[in-house]
């Protein structure tokens, strides 16, 4: 139903897209279906993405319907302004990132300069960015400079829960994760960063801190992961930030050669 709804919205908004599919398997009995909005030219080098699946039994309004709406509107505006970026809506994030892994498996490493992944973007007053050092990359300069962050209530943090960005990080493609959270949750995120990547496991305190974050109630089937808790002003804050950053990125990229983006080998 979510696949059908997303396809209907894209059709209604006049956004051309390509469907990328993987056949059903024992782990994924319904298969994997990604929706890729066609690039506007032969030389885009930036990809915006978000997952459209939800935890079974949850409305998935903030995890991750709000991000989808933001990117659909952004795609329409950037098309009108002829700013050449790509968009991908991934399946299976809640089940091992199957959609983004499928997409990443079709990419040439050199074909993509950077990825911006949105997850949980409809609740809170603070825009948070986690790049684990990638925020310093040239491709993200227009999104992560001090003036942009100050103008849009943005904060660089060292930890966000894993999402589809991991599929690109494995390929050493620069990637940013973005979310909206209540301001007081930022301190919790900074504390969680001190536990490292969790390669050797994490102590019970990690889950305890996660549970104390207000934004946690808006994700993974939490009681606030419903439409009535979505805050339009939070979505507008993220959308405006991405739009202004994309316009600045376009000005910067027009001054230098852009690496072509090829979705498929």
Q: Tens digit of pLDDT for each residue in 94-126?
A: 989 999 999 999 887 667 889 999 999 999 999
pLDDT for 260: 41
C-alpha span between 169 and 97 (Å, rounded): 13
User: Which residues in 217-250 are b (16+ Cβ under 10 Å) and which e?
Assistant: bbbeebebbeeebbbeebbebbbebbbebbeebb
Within 10 A of 260 (CB to CB), how many other CB atoms are there? 16
Question: How many domains does one find in the chain?
Answer: 1
100 found inside a domain: yes
171 found inside a domain: yes
10 found inside a domain: yes
Query: Which distant-in-sequence residues (6+ apart) come within 8 Å of 169 by Cβ?
Result: 132, 175
pLDDT for 150: 97
Q: What share of the chain is helix, strand, coil (3-state, %, to 5)?
A: 45, 15, 40
pLDDT for 26: 84
Q: Is the Cα dihedral 213, 218, 220, 223 positive or negative?
A: positive
pLDDT for 265: 31
pLDDT for 197: 72
Helices (H) and strands (E) in the chain, counts: 9, 8
pLDDT for 171: 86
pLDDT for 28: 83
CATH of the domain at 17: 3.40.630.10
265 found inside a domain: no
**DSSP string covering 35-48:** EEEPPSSS---EEE
C-alpha span between 5 and 9 (Å, rounded): 6
260 found inside a domain: no
Look up residue 132 and give its DSSP letter: T
Reported as a single tens digit per residue, the pLDDT across 119-171 is: 999 999 999 999 999 999 999 999 999 999 999 999 999 999 999 999 998 88
pLDDT for 258: 44
Look up residue 173 and give its DSSP letter: -
Range of the domain at 208: 2-253
pLDDT for 261: 39
**Which strand (E) or helix (H) includes residue 51?**
strand 46-51
39 found inside a domain: yes
137 found inside a domain: yes
Low-confidence ranges of the chain (pLDDT < 70): 39-44, 109-110, 198-200, 255-265
190 found inside a domain: yes
């Amino acid at each position: 139903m979510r696949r059908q709804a997303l396809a209907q919205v894209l059709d209604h908004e006049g956004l051309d897209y390509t469907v990328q599919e993987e056949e059903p398997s024992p782990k994924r009995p319904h298969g994997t279906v990604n929706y890729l909005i066609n690039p506007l030219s032969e030389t885009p080098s930036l990809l915006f993405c978000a997952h459209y699946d939800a935890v079974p039994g949850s409305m998935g309004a903030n995890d991750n319907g709000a991000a989808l709406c933001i990117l659909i509107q952004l795609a329409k505006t950037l098309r009108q302004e002829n700013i050449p970026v790509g968009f991908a809506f991934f399946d299976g994030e809640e089940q091992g990132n199957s959609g983004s892994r499928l997409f990443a498996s079709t990419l040439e490493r050199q074909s993509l300069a950077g990825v911006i992944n949105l997850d949980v973007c409809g609740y809170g007053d603070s825009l948070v960015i986690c790049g684990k050092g990638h925020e310093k990359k040239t491709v993200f300069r227009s999104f992560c400079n001090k003036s942009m962050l100050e103008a849009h209530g943005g904060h660089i943090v060292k930890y966000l829960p894993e999402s589809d960005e991991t599929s690109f990080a494995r390929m050493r493609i620069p990637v940013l994760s973005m979310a909206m959270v209540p301001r007081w949750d930022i301190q919790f995120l900074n504390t969680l960063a001190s536990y490292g990547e969790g390669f050797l496991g994490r102590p019970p305190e990690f889950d305890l801190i996660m549970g104390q974050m207000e934004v946690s109630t808006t994700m993974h089937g939490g009681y606030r992961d419903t439409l009535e808790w979505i805050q339009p002003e939070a979505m507008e804050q993220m959308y405006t930030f991405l739009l202004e950053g994309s316009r600045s990125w376009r000005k910067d990229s027009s001054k230098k050669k852009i690496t072509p983006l090829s979705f498929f080998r």
